[in-house]
Structure 1
Amino acid sequence: MEPKRVITASQAAALVPDNCTITTGGFGSCGHPDLLTEALAARFAATAQPSDLTLVFAAGQGDKASRGLNQLAVKGLLKKVIGGYWALAPSIGQMALRGEIQAHNWPQGVISHLFRAIAGGKSGVLSGIGLHTFIDPRQEGGKVGPATTEELISVVNVGGREELFYPSMPINVAFLRGSRADVDGNISMEDEANFQDSLAQAQAVHNCGGIVIVQVMELVDRNSLDPQAIRIPGIFVDYLVLSTPDTHWQTYGEVRNNTYTGRSRSDTAVTPLPLCAKKIVARRALYEIARYNAPIVNLGIGTPEFIARVASEERCSAHVLTVESGVIGGTPARGLSFGASSNPQAILDQASQFDFYDGGGIDLAFLGFGQADSRGNVNISRFGGRLNGVGGFINISQSAKRVVFCGTFTAGGLELGFEAGQLIIEREGDITKFIQAVEHMSFNAAHAQSRNCPILFITERAVLVLKDGRLILKEVAPGIDIERDILARSTADIIVADHVELMPASIFLHRPLSVTDKYWRSRD
């Protein structure tokens, strides 16, 4: 085999033709080949080429500012985008909302599986994921923005059951990232926080007759890498680009954290977070974990991220935490390292994780919410002038055995105080989150209840349960007035239960949870 050609990032960018379809590696804030996308943006700025690209991604890569896919948010460079999670690349989301590009928001797990379908020469992905949400073509068909009119998703009947069909498409270029490459192009990823969809993307582009370019930190001799450590075989790789440390951060939050890869382990007790709304929600969420014997748990982005940290503070480990990036076990990271986990038990590719999720493998899912309405429907994907994208939310919320939505009761300037186990609203949030009808149907509560999935909402001041299509106020925080602080701060139809319990006072105290608390008794 001839050694793979090592080229510069500028040379790699020059290989991308006009009007092609490109896919990029990475998961959110992890593992994006920034050197390559930076060079592509620089080429376009200098030459106005390549133009009219179609971009396909599962978990959109970025830092909410200038890195990752945000570098490609230039009018004329992109024509169409099909993506799962958009929140970390807000510049591209704004292009979609302004009508500067055609845009489609599909479930992240579906796109992850689509890479495998394209690699295998299949016509597309057939799945129930997305039915009865804005993804369903009988609602919006996943279309985003005024420039998007093309219907891509269709409803089909298979054996008497409705499914959605997501079509395959040729992909011409892949920009991917690994840790090391040998001279034959075999790629290892031992220093990456997760494996994303790298193998499937490389196979898909190769089998479409396209070009696969991989950014790596180091080039090593032939046969010097463990064959079992190879995540992308060299037969799928066309070119290598050597990166520099400043363009190869492990995540956008950290240059390197060896606890994410198993190279080292951290058993150090974590410093407790200060008491705040998200910590209150996370503490109350621990009670739901205690209902199970060693449950398999998914934590979504946002407020649910705090559950992992609070569980570590309380030395609670009677569960297995997972993230859709493919990580199993350990403590999921927050912020711009979300998608990584300290001390993981195992790391799968993203598509395999979604196989497990879609098949009902999650016992308990903790997910964020931006809006919830009188019927329990939830919007996390689009509100106001912001496009978050649905990410893996629909895969998880439509498949988990039990779903708990976590977030503050209001948003935008909410300030809290705590005194002797009492919650004090010092400044109310400006944004009402419990409303009559959600702007965007990310979660269809009736569809979830049709499969007997229990639904709970945990906030800093109240816990609500969805029963027979109605929101029932079940618990209230000590110090909270139901009429003033809950009903008056919501336009949703909330039913007050005949007997409303108090949320445990211990979760509002500036100390670890009490050893006499029922959570700890149930854990023991």
Structure 2
Amino acid sequence: MTRSRSIRPTRMTAREAVALVPNGATLALTGAGGGVLEPESLLNALEERFLGGDGPAELTAVYALGMGDRGRGGTGHLAHPGLVKRVIGGLWTWSPELRQMAQDELIEAYTLPGGVISQLFREIGARRPGLITSVGLDTFADPRHGGGRFNRLATDELVELIELDGREYLRYKPFRVDVAFVRGDTMDRNGNIGWAGEAAQLDAAAIAHAARASGGIVIAQVKDVTDGVLDPHVVHLPAALVDVVVHDAAQRQTHSAPFDPRLCGAGDETDFDVRAADLPHGARAVIARRAVAEVGSDQIINVGFGIPTFVVDELAAAGRLSDNTIVIEQGIFGGRPLSGDLFGASASPEVMHASTTQFDLINGGLIDLTCLGMAQVDRTGSVNVSRIGGVINGPGGFVEISESARHVVFCGTFAAGGLDVECGDGRLHIVREGRIPKFVDTVEQITFSGGRAIRDGQRVTYVTERAVFVLTPDGLELTEVAPGIDVERDILAHMGFEPIITRPIPMAPELFTAHTHRPPTPTDHQQGANR
């Protein structure tokens, strides 16, 4: 479907632009959860075209990070039988309808590490033979563990195991990109597109490169069109890379708000003020406070979605946020990562560049400490967040981050499904136990390999509201127990395996009191117990 090129993009309506998408095309998308850089107008117009009976059909959709609003937004627009036949997504949780189609075997469902997909777009754009990396070895992405296939319809081999100089690697295979949907906030008179008002740059350029190298077309959505010329420092999509531009004056910076200047501009310490009412309570507060005790100073720190984002709140409340630099995989350094549906954006960032570049830095050892979630943990220390109860979640940037950080702190409740606890007088009381154990004999799927972490010399800590574990060459060791908790009754009785138990110490009583605005730091004795 190669088209004649122009040095300037052609202006079209969204309806006209999506008419260029043929049946069977591979559609590459940029975007992140909460509507960050999502080409919502294009996806909506594509859905309307399909529902109107004018196609297209049997598309393959590929995206690196979660897209959607937990409803019909983002990749939710694709959730119609016949519109897509295959989805290769880094994270599926933002689009429950699309995830349900995967569960019902209505589409071929694959997931790969988010950074791998982003970097693979770049390799396709450079016409190289795929992405060769150690990322994903011994996880669900490894062909020996499924190769990213997530349902019975997914039968193609997207990944192969290779050996170079006596070492194992994974080769993620390249594919043709027929159409790229990308976004920016302004196009100038020369056709160049900038992103100064966006909350992230993500991998828009890599996706455009991939489509151009494949002979496909690049369709960009923008909020503004100016007769002036953009500062070249804010151009992320040169005119020569873009075929079609759709002007959407109603384009929102995120699903939550039309525009928030804090998400694209530098700020100061006043942007990090935290109210006690905004801080976590109960089990989440205990976990976040205890995780903060692992944080030193002058570190590069990453936090994942869910409970780990509260670690940032606790650091801010303690006045320690400026002691370290927070980074997230969306390409942001500094500032304060947002939680909930706006995870992927940061208030008052210091540096914003492409997520593709950020993943290069992450793979190269950028992160000193990361706090990540955990859905299941097994006796080897392996962690699962990508497939729970047979339902596809995907990892986002979890694989790259957890494999490369020097110290990984997994944060989560000891059990799921209705857990209720009370804290007071320096003790923890379990009001109602969770129905679903998280510490199991064998995880349903490996998203983080405990065995590989031991071989690579990583430090790994598992923090819950009632116990702390560390990974050793012999398995998980119980190192701390909450005051008020009985090891046999409240811990071992709810685990699928027996951890190593030598001399566990009490978790700090301060973790179980009313918020003091300054989370405790571990004593030398506690630090020694966690090494």
Smaller-chain TM-score bracket: over 0.9
Contact 1:259–1:266 (CA<8 Å) still a contact in 2? no
Shift of 1:123: 1.3
CA distance in 2, matches of 1:252, 1:376: 37
Contact 2:280–2:310 (CA<8 Å) still a contact in 1? no
Look up the match of 1:294: 298
Of 127, 132, 152, which aligns to 2:133?
127
**Cα shift readout 1:250-287 (whole Å, capped 9, x = no counterpart):** 22333322111116556152112152222211111111
When structure 1 is superposed on structure 2, of 434-443 and 255-264 the one drifting more is: 255-264
Query: Does residue 163 of structure 2 align to residue 160 of structure 1?
Result: no
Look up the match of 2:72: 66
* Partner SS for 1:104: strand
* Partner SS for 2:56: coil
Query: Does residue 324 of structure 2 align to residue 279 of structure 1?
Result: no
Look up the match of 2:196: 190
Q: CA RMSD in A?
A: 2.0
Of 386, 395, 407, which aligns to 1:390?
395
Look up the match of 2:311: 307
> Aligned ranges for residues 244-259 of structure 1 at < 5 Å?
244-245=249-250, 248-259=251-262
Residues 1:261 and 1:516: Cα distance change in structure 2 (over 3 Å): closer
* Partner SS for 1:434: coil
Of 184, 198, 203, which aligns to 1:178?
184
CA distance in 1, matches of 2:237, 2:200: 13
Shift of 1:103: 2.1
Residues 1:18 and 1:465: Cα distance change in structure 2 (over 3 Å): same
Contact 1:411–1:429 (CA<8 Å) still a contact in 2? yes
Look up the match of 1:95: 101
> Aligned ranges for residues 431-450 of structure 1 at < 5 Å?
431-450=436-455
CA distance in 1, matches of 2:235, 2:518: 48
CA distance in 2, matches of 1:466, 1:310: 25
CA distance in 1, matches of 2:172, 2:487: 45
Shift of 1:373: 0.8
Contact 1:90–1:387 (CA<8 Å) still a contact in 2? no
CA distance in 2, matches of 1:330, 1:519: 29
Contact 1:251–1:336 (CA<8 Å) still a contact in 2? no
CA distance in 2, matches of 1:517, 1:202: 46
Residues 1:23 and 1:125: Cα distance change in structure 2 (over 3 Å): same
CA distance in 2, matches of 1:514, 1:405: 21
Look up the match of 2:470: 465
Of 204, 209, 212, which aligns to 1:206?
212
CA distance in 1, matches of 2:260, 2:450: 39
**Cα shift readout 1:284-322 (whole Å, capped 9, x = no counterpart):** 1111112xx411111111111111111111111211111
CA distance in 2, matches of 1:427, 1:144: 34
Contact 1:376–1:469 (CA<8 Å) still a contact in 2? no
Residues 1:33 and 1:144: Cα distance change in structure 2 (over 3 Å): same
When structure 1 is superposed on structure 2, of 383-392 and 124-133 the one drifting more is: 383-392
* Partner SS for 2:358: helix
Amino acid at match of 1:332: P
Amino acid at match of 2:187: A
Residues 1:514 and 1:67: Cα distance change in structure 2 (over 3 Å): closer
Contact 1:188–1:230 (CA<8 Å) still a contact in 2? yes
* Partner SS for 2:144: coil
Query: Does residue 116 of structure 2 align to residue 116 of structure 1?
Result: no
Residues 1:15 and 1:494: Cα distance change in structure 2 (over 3 Å): same
CA distance in 2, matches of 1:401, 1:4: 45
CA distance in 2, matches of 1:362, 1:2: 40
Amino acid at match of 2:150: V
Look up the match of 1:260: 263
Residues 1:438 and 1:274: Cα distance change in structure 2 (over 3 Å): closer
Residues 1:72 and 1:355: Cα distance change in structure 2 (over 3 Å): same
Amino acid at match of 1:345: E
Shift of 1:129: 0.6
Residues 1:198 and 1:374: Cα distance change in structure 2 (over 3 Å): same
Contact 2:314–2:517 (CA<8 Å) still a contact in 1? no
Look up the match of 1:8: 13
Contact 2:139–2:446 (CA<8 Å) still a contact in 1? yes
Contact 2:24–2:59 (CA<8 Å) still a contact in 1? yes
Q: What TM-score do you get using the length of structure 2 for normalisation?
A: 0.94
Contact 1:37–1:71 (CA<8 Å) still a contact in 2? yes
Contact 2:416–2:437 (CA<8 Å) still a contact in 1? yes
Look up the match of 1:148: 154
CA distance in 1, matches of 2:177, 2:58: 14
* Partner SS for 1:157: strand
Look up the match of 2:62: 56
Look up the match of 1:492: 497
Q: Percent identity?
A: 40
Residues 1:2 and 1:300: Cα distance change in structure 2 (over 3 Å): closer
Residues 1:145 and 1:512: Cα distance change in structure 2 (over 3 Å): same
Amino acid at match of 1:295: Q
CA distance in 2, matches of 1:454, 1:264: 33
When structure 1 is superposed on structure 2, of 319-328 and 57-66 the one drifting more is: 57-66
CA distance in 1, matches of 2:230, 2:521: 51
Shift of 1:396: 1.2
> Aligned ranges for residues 357-506 of structure 1 at < 5 Å?
357-497=362-502, 499-506=503-510
Residues 1:428 and 1:48: Cα distance change in structure 2 (over 3 Å): farther
Look up the match of 2:38: 32
Unaligned runs of 5+ in 2: 1-5, 527-531
**Cα shift readout 1:452-483 (whole Å, capped 9, x = no counterpart):** 11111001111011112311111111211111
* Partner SS for 2:451: helix
Query: Does residue 355 of structure 2 align to residue 350 of structure 1?
Result: yes
Residues 1:270 and 1:242: Cα distance change in structure 2 (over 3 Å): same
Look up the match of 2:529: none
CA distance in 2, matches of 1:185, 1:386: 43
Of 229, 232, 241, which aligns to 1:236?
241
Amino acid at match of 1:296: I
Amino acid at match of 2:309: E
* Partner SS for 1:138: helix
Q: What TM-score do you get using the length of structure 1 for normalisation?
A: 0.95
Shift of 1:182: 1.2
Unaligned runs of 5+ in 1: none
Shift of 1:50: 0.2
